[in-house]
């Protein structure tokens, strides 16, 4: 058991640069915000001697060995070495590679550092990102073509959310709600299941807009950050959301990634419900 506050070493081993493992390690660290970590990288692992050197460095310490090794012999040797040294370990590629090989009936290329292919998924992602840029902030008329339509007031992260959804392969258009300005009429004609409303805490929105005004030169957009007007704008947005009959996500305190996955779940569930009925 690791005493509270003691640094935990996360040793990242890879037969390439180790970026794949490093991204997962970053996600793991985020789940333990009170725990101090030290990352120790061991890139370009080629031989069992390289593995032994890394294991000897971690032996007897509060450490976890995280590795992405394509070569089966290296993976098996790493497992044996870690067990012998009584070290916890996580093989990030071994089981997934074996599982996909069994289901697909195809053998993995077993090439360290292989880049993802320029396949249909890649081009779909690029097309979706371009779509998000083209139809950002109500520009154009891509609502019917979109997989997801985001509706919310300014500074509810519509643009970065649309871009991130594009990265995930979803064509996202977003419609801004501006006080006194009617939204595009086609918003009421698109498939209801793909519309998701966005809202945010009024005081938080005021803070964001105040900071925004300062970067724009201070005196511009009078009333843009005034709390009373923000409440009125959010009430107008809520009324539109009710007329559209769409679910609403409060983005206060949420990351773009968290919001995106909530949006996707909502749209998928609503579409499945529409199909069943």
Q: Are 143 and 267 within one domain? A: yes
User: pLDDT of 143-164, one tens digit each?
Assistant: 999 999 999 998 899 999 999 9
What is the per-residue pLDDT for 115? 57
Same domain, yes or no: 169 and 272 = yes
Residues 220, 130 share a domain: yes
Closest by CA position to 246, among listed 148, 164, 140, 158: 148
Confidence at 272, pLDDT banded by 50, 70, 90? confident
Q: Domain range spanning residue 152?
A: 120-276
Greater confidence, 108 or 241?
A: 241
What was the pLDDT predicted at 24? 85
Query: What is the DSSP secondary-structure string of 212-236?
Result: HHHHTTSSSSTTTT-HHHHHHHHHH
**What digits encode the pLDDT tens for the residues 173-226?**
999 998 888 888 899 999 999 999 999 999 999 888 887 777 656 555 555 558
Domain assignment of residue 91, yes or no: yes
C-alpha–C-alpha distance, residues 69 and 82, integer Å: 14
Model-level pTM? 0.62
CATH of the domain at 24: 3.40.50.2300
């Amino acid at each position: 058991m690791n005493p509270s506050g003691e640094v935990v070493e996360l040793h990242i081993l890879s037969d390439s640069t180790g970026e794949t493992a490093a991204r997962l390690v970053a996600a793991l660290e985020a789940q333990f915000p009170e725990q101090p970590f030290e990352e120790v990288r061991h890139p370009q692992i080629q031989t069992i001697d390289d593995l032994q050197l890394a294991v000897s460095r971690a032996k007897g310490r509060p450490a976890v060995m995280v590795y992405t090794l394509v070569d089966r012999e290296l993976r098996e040797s790493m497992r044996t070495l870690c067990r012998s040294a009584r070290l916890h370990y996580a093989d990030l590629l071994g089981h997934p590679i074996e599982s996909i090989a069994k289901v697909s009936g195809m053998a993995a290329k077993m090439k360290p550092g292989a880049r993802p292919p320029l396949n249909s998924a890649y081009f779909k992602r690029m097309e979706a990102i371009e779509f998000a840029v083209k139809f950002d902030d109500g520009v154009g008329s891509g609502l019917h073509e979109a997989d997801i339509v985001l509706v919310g007031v300014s500074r509810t992260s519509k643009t970065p959310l649309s871009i991130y959804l594009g990265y995930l392969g979803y064509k996202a258009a977003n419609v801004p709600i501006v006080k006194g300005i009617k939204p595009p009429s086609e918003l009421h004609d698109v498939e209801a299941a793909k519309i998701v409303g966005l809202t945010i805490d009024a005081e938080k929105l005021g803070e964001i807009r105040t900071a925004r005004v300062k970067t724009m030169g201070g005196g511009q957009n009078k009333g843009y950050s005034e709390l009373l007007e923000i409440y009125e704008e959010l009430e107008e947005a809520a009324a539109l959301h009710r007329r559209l009959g769409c679910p609403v996500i409060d983005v206060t305190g949420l990351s773009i990634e968290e919001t995106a996955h909530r949006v996707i779940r909502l749209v998928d569930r609503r579409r499945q419900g529409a199909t069943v009925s």
